[in-house]
Amino acid sequence: MAFTAPALAGCIDDSLKIVADDGGILIMQSGHVYKVDGADTVDTQLWLSADGVLICGGVMINKDEDGEKASVTCADRCSREAYLLGRLEER
């Protein structure tokens, strides 16, 4: 699946750290935590730690060759501003 810049405007690039609760909870390298819609755990339970993802609003897209999508809800401070601030604090 090809990801193009216009289609990704406003999306956040991150990587998975932990896939928990049979794919129901995704913990990101950035430290953010997302709850996955129950219907989408069929896919997310197979996602791997360190998989790259894009977070576009309430949708997370796995950047692997299959490009699966999952509806997610942020379980912590997941605004773009908070994400960028966290990245700056890591440096």
pLDDT at residue 91 in the model: 42
As a whole number of angstroms, the distance between CA 53 and CA 75 comes to 17
Structure tokens at 60: 């997370």
Q: Is residue 3 part of a domain?
A: no
Boundaries of domain holding 65: 13-90
Is 64 among the domain residues? yes
In a domain, 72, yes or no: yes
Counted domains in the chain: 1
In a domain, 5, yes or no: no
Residue 2 falls within a domain, yes or no? no
What does DSSP assign to residue 24?
T
Structure confidence at residue 72 (pLDDT): 96
Residue at 70 is within a domain:
yes
DSSP codes joined into one string, 62-90 = E-STT--EEEEEESS---HHHHHHHHHHH
Q: Is residue 6 part of a domain?
A: no
Q: What are 39-49's pLDDT values in tens digits? A: 999 999 999 99
* Alpha-carbon span 70 to 40, nearest angstrom: 5
Q: How far is CA 63 from each of CA 1, 20, 51, 86, rounded to the nearest angstrom?
A: 8, 19, 7, 22
With 0.85 as the threshold, say if the pTM is over it: no
